[in-house]
């Protein structure tokens, strides 16, 4: 084993096993073995540095892991909110007005917690992907086109929930809440403003940005849309249509290159649905 290799000794070109040299005795061994068959030195222990996942130094992997941790945290917050909401519904509060007041307070608190979560996530999770800049014409086209797409999604949403209503006597949140003067502003913030800003910052800026670093645009849009749908734990039957809404908003984000368009569309969508249920906008 000392000196130059003999000319007759040909090492195989293609190896099913990784041949190498034992670090202790210097003999040729199969590195896939746990121990050197000659001197019993541990081989896989030495191999461990080579097999170490490079993800500790991979910034995209770190960002993805952090993003998923934040998503898990948001789900946990929604879970606790769901328990609290069930407590309100099942408690003997008396009038519908009292229940409405309690529900508004509860949702305001939990949306506040979600907002803090998302702001912390924006500071903690690095978004390295930069969406390509769009020309003025492309942005104008995106804004025009996706407003029309959103109109279609609103119609689809209404049709979907009408079908649910026909099938199972489904009642959505927008149909239950009161538009009484003193709580109108609170519900407006809860239903239209907070989701449009905070949810878009999380799902279409942070999640989509992190995913774009590791997968292509279509996979990133659909995965972020599934996350968006699943985050609405309080309305599990609405998740399919919410996923489609998330897809539309995701493609709006990539088509426009900015976050303003999906924010505006989300605001429009929630406002339209609420307005229709409240009777302010003519029913279809």
Contact assessment for residue 66 and residue 124, using Cβ atoms and an 8 Å cutoff: yes
Q: Which of 99, 113, 197, 215 lies at the binding interface for another protein (CB under 8 A)?
A: 215
User: Is position 95 an interface residue for another protein (rule: CB under 8 A)?
Assistant: no
For residue 108, which of 201, 197, 187, 199 has the smallest C-alpha distance?
187
Three-state secondary structure call for residue 27: coil
User: Is position 68 an interface residue for another protein (rule: CB under 8 A)?
Assistant: yes
Minimum distance of another protein from residue 231's CB (angstroms): 8
Range 161-190, binding another protein (CB under 8 A): 167-169
Contact assessment for residue 237 and residue 98, using Cβ atoms and an 8 Å cutoff: no
Choices 110-118, 195-203, 223-231, 261-269; region in contact with another protein by CB under 8 A = 223-231
CA–CA dist 8, 23 (Å, integer): 24
SS3 content of the chain, % helix, strand, coil (to 5): 70, 5, 30
User: Is position 118 an interface residue for another protein (rule: CB under 8 A)?
Assistant: no
For residue 196, which of 249, 146, 122, 238 has the smallest C-alpha distance?
249
Measured from the CB atom, the residue of 26 and 112 that comes closer to another protein is 26
Choices 13-21, 142-150, 187-195, 259-267; region in contact with another protein by CB under 8 A = 13-21
Location of structure tokens 């917050």: 77
Q: How far is CA 81 from CA 74, 103, 183, 196, 267, in A?
A: 10, 10, 20, 19, 22
Measured from the CB atom, the residue of 234 and 257 that comes closer to another protein is 234
Give the gyration radius of the chain's Cα atoms.
Answer: 28
Range 226-245, binding another protein (CB under 8 A): 226-227, 230-231, 233-234, 236-237, 239
Range 193-212, binding another protein (CB under 8 A): 211
Minimum distance of another protein from residue 227's CB (angstroms): 5
- Applying CB under 8 A, which residues contact another protein? 1-5, 11-15, 18-26, 28, 31-32, 46-47, 49-51, 53-55, 58, 60-61, 64-65, 68, 71-72, 75-76, 78-79, 82-83, 86, 167-169, 211, 214-215, 219, 223, 226-227, 230-231, 233-234, 236-237, 239
């Amino acid at each position: 084993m000392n000196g130059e290799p003999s000319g007759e000794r040909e090492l195989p070109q293609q190896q099913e096993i990784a041949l190498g040299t034992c670090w202790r005795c210097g003999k040729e061994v199969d590195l896939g073995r746990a121990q050197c068959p000659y001197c019993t030195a541990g081989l896989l222990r030495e191999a461990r540095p080579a097999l170490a996942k490079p993800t500790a130094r991979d910034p995209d992997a770190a960002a993805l892991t952090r993003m998923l941790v934040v998503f898990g945290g948001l789900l946990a917050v929604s879970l606790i909110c769901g328990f609290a909401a069930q407590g309100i519904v099942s408690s003997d509060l008396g009038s519908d007005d009292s229940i409405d007041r309690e529900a508004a307070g509860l949702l305001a608190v939990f949306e506040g917690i979600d907002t803090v979560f998302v702001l912390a996530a924006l500071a903690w999770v690095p978004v390295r992907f930069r969406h390509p800049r769009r020309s003025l014409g492309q942005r104008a086209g995106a804004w025009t086109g996706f407003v029309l797409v959103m109109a279609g999604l609103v119609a689809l949403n209404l049709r979907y929930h009408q079908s649910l209503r026909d099938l199972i006597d489904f009642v959505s949140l927008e149909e239950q809440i009161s538009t009484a003067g003193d709580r109108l502003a609170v519900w407006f913030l809860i239903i239209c403003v907070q989701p449009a800003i905070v949810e878009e910052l999380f799902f279409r800026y942070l999640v989509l940005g992190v995913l774009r670093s590791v997968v292509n645009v279509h996979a990133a849009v659909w995965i972020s849309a599934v996350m968006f749908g699943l985050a609405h734990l309080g309305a599990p039957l609405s998740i399919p249509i919410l996923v489609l809404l998330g897809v539309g908003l995701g493609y709006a984000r990539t088509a426009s290159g900015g976050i303003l368009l999906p924010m505006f569309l989300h605001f429009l969508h929630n406002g339209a649905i609420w307005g229709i249920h409240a009777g302010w906008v003519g029913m279809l």
